[in-house]
Amino acid sequence: MTKIDDRRRQIVKVGGASALGLGLAGCLGGGDGNEETTAADDADGNGETTESGGVTDVGMVYATGGLGDNSFNDMAHQGVQDAADEYDVEFTNAEPGSPSEVANLQQRFAQSTDPDYDLIPCIGFVQQDSLSQNAANFPDQNFMVVDTTVDADNVANYVFKEQEGSFQAGHMAGLLTQMDFSAGAGETTDDAVVGFVGGKETPLIKKFEAGYRAGVAHADGDVEVRTAYAGSWSDSAQGQEIALSMYDKGADFVYHAAGGTGNGVFKAAQEAGRFAIGVDADQSKSLAKYDDVILASMVKRVDEAVYRSIENVVNGEFEGGSTETLGLEQDGVSVVYGNNIGSEVPEDVRSALEESETAIVEGDIEVPTDPSDL
């Protein structure tokens, strides 16, 4: 109950979490023995700046889908773990249950003095409004935000060109659905149909849809694209139902941008014996039990964004007010082939994807960000 005790427990949580990669299940893992740094940290009064050699404290506020989505939030979590492996970084996770809790959690971190957080990464566009307020209310606190921009001197912004990676995913699906292709537990049908499942119908997810559909059309304008939105980031049963109905209608590939809801898409793919395309993380690895149907994933390097922002703070180079846009060119987004069955993707498809990637990077292909611009 003493200060020191609180402190120790916090570190334990962090150590456990990084060992497991499962967020707040931190209690189950092994500690990574940061006890000495704690003492040092407490001794120097938990110095505000990292130059004094203290620990860099990071307070993570995740998006409402929560940890364990094997996708967006877990990627962000990966980023902070990597930073903790590399540098003297300690972090605490906070998962809002609903959008209205986001402001509260940001404030808790921002006003905390034990520890005094050096950086508060805010994951997801849901944080935007709360952060605009809190950034103004806590001008000395450094924040970073992913997927949206907040115009303030103490916020570093990281946004992605999701449409570009999604274009690649659509291009691949559009090419393969017209072929006789089988790999792992999936095979294509005679119908040239592909599907897209979104979480909530927000402008961000529409970027995924727009890019995906443009990519499919780039492969062949005759391929039919079915799209649906589940209305949730964490309803895997709903995702499964939607995907199953798409597979029933002849869809060979379903691409999802739906966080935890997407897990249902993979389940449906196994059930129907077709393919799915993962999102945000390489889901053939993060959800290995579905690696026989996940042909590829559109990886969005949220981990990289989080890692870089922490690295900047550790090095005393925090760039408040800046916006980094990460697209295909910066390797911020990319299609990675599945861990298990990705190697089956034929060479001509691979080279077609490489061509379209070059065309996008060089500006020859303009990828739309809104489905109505198609």
Partner 1 sequence: MSGDDSTIGRALGGLVDASAIERILISLAALGLSVVVGAVVVLISGWVLSPCPSAPFATLGGLGEFCYNPIEVYWVLLKGAFGSTFNLATTLQETTLLLFTGLSVAVAFRAGMFNIGTQGQLVLGALGTGLSVLWVAPVVPAGLVGGVVLVAVGLLVGAAVGGFWGAIPGALKAYADANEVITTIMLNFVATGIAFTLVSEVFKDPGSQTVQTRFVPEYAQLPALVLGIDGFSMLALVGGLALAGLVYWVLRGTSFGYDLRTSGVQPDAAEYGGVDAKKTMVSSMALSGALGGVGGAVYVLMVAGQWQSGIPSLGFDGITVSILAGNNPIGVVPAALLFGALKGGSLVIEFDLAVPQQLVGVLRGLVILFVAMPEFFRMAGIRYGYGDDEPAVATDGGTPREGGADDGGDSE
Residues that bind partner 1 in the complex, under the rule CB under 8 A: 1, 5-6, 8-13, 15-16, 24-31, 64, 92, 94-95, 97-101, 103-105, 107-108, 111, 125-126, 128-129, 133, 147-148, 200-204, 231
Give the three-class secondary structure for 158: strand
Identify whether the C-beta of residue 286 lies closer than 8 Å to the C-beta of residue 74: yes
Nearer to partner 1 (CB atom), residue 84 or residue 183: 84
CB of 371 to partner 1, least distance (A): 13
| Strand-pair partners of 255 | 196, 277
Q: At its nearest, how many Å lie between partner 1 and the CB of residue 29? A: 6
Bridge-partner residues for 298, per DSSP? Answer: 279, 335
Strands 275-280 and 333-337: unpaired
Nearer to partner 1, 6 or 44 (CB): 6
Strand blocks (E) in 174-239: 182-183, 186-187, 193-198, 224-229
Nearer to partner 1 by C-beta: 37 or 107? 107
**65 versus 250: smaller Cβ distance to partner 1:** 65
Exposed / middle / buried, residue 36 (Cβ in 10 Å: 0-12, 13-18, 19+): exposed
- Could you tell me which of 297, 119, 13, 206 has the C-alpha nearest to residue 288? 297
Residue with tokens 């060979």: 252
Token pair, residue 181, equals 């292709």
HSE-CB for 275 with a 13 A CA cutoff: 31
Closer residue to partner 1 in complex, CB, 127/188 = 127
The nearest distance, CB 333 to partner 1, in angstroms, is 17
Given the structure tokens 């895997």, which residue do they identify? 236
Rounded to the nearest whole angstrom, what is the least distance from the CB of residue 259 to partner 1 in the complex? 13
Nearer to partner 1, 174 or 262 (CB): 262
CB of 359 to partner 1, least distance (A): 28
| In the complex, least distance from residue 166 CB atom to partner 1, rounded to whole angstroms | 16
Q: What are phi and psi of 175, to 5 degrees?
A: -70, -45
**One-letter amino acid for residue 362 of the chain:** E
Q: Give the residue with the Cβ less far from partner 1, 126 or 169.
A: 126
Instruction: Compute the least distance from the CB of residue 106 to partner 1, in Å.
Output: 12
